[in-house]
Amino acid sequence: MFAVTANAQQRQRTAQNANKCIHTKIVEKEKVTVTTINKCNNTKTIKIYTKEEWKAILEKRKKRARERRGGIKRWKNYYY
């Protein structure tokens, strides 16, 4: 029992450390600029999207999040 708890805590700390390395900045003007800086690897990534592409990305994220929580799958057959 104790080993399982220790492993779970260790994974959580590892995930937190990974998030400390990556910083993301989003600037919305005529186009959307996403700048990601990874301080652990010393890399910088800049991606530029149109407004329509960015909206599509956000919609996909929302849909995936709902599916992970079981929202769409759970009620899919209920409405049809």
Q: What are the pLDDT digits (tens) for 14-31?
A: 555 656 888 888 999 999
**Residue 42 backbone phi and psi in degrees, to 5:** 55, 50
With cut-offs at 50, 70 and 90, classify the pLDDT of residue 2: very low
Would residue 16 count as lying in a domain?
yes
With cut-offs at 50, 70 and 90, classify the pLDDT of residue 47: very high
Would residue 44 count as lying in a domain?
yes
Rounded to whole angstroms, the Cα distance separating 79 from 64 reads: 20
Would residue 11 count as lying in a domain?
yes
Strand order in the sheet with 32-38: 22-28, 32-38, 43-49
Would residue 24 count as lying in a domain?
yes
pLDDT at 3 over 50: no
Would residue 80 count as lying in a domain?
no
Would residue 50 count as lying in a domain?
yes
Kindly state the tokens that stand for 21.
């390395």
pLDDT at 44 over 80: yes
Instruction: Work out the angle between the directed axes of helices 71-79 and 51-69 (0-180°, nearest 10).
Output: 80
Kindly state the tokens that stand for 5.
């708890």
Number of domains in the chain: 1
Would residue 79 count as lying in a domain?
no
Closest CA to 71 of 62, 80, 58: 62
Predicted pLDDT at 12: 55
